[in-house]
Amino acid sequence: MEWVEKRKHPRFKAADKALAACKDDSFTLMDLSAGGVGIRFFGEQPLPAVISIDLFFLNREFALTGVRCKKVFEKKYEPMGLQRVPEWHVGLEIVNPSQDMVQKLRQFRWTENES
């Protein structure tokens, strides 16, 4: 059986110190594409099916706010060792991204210049 890639857009590793947030929660941005983002977080509860997030960098003034997303993937990792809460990996599809938003998402890609 041949494996078929389901992604519409190429995926890129996220830049160092790139984060996502929703209300009082923050998430590590793992990867992104023109159509969505992959995030990681620790918590007791999963994210809702539809969510609005903000993307930003630590120590930088650039942010992309109010990015409306729907959850398309979710994996829960049970606590191990000293960890007390589950870790979640979540794939979020951006709902109707504008061309401007797609251009701004490029700011969050990892580059070889990062250490």
Going along the chain from its start, the domains and CATH numbers come out as 20-108 (2.40.10)
Q: What is the pLDDT of residues 55-111, one digit of tens each?
A: 998 877 788 999 999 999 999 999 988 889 999 999 999 999 999 998 988 888 887
- pTM, rounded to two decimals: 0.85
Three-class DSSP labels, the chain: CCCCCCCCCCCEEECCCEEEEECCEEEEEEEEECCEEEEEEECCCCCCCEEEEEEEECCCCCEEEEEEEEEEEEEEECCCCCCCCCEEEEEEEECCCCHHHHHHHHHHECCCCCC
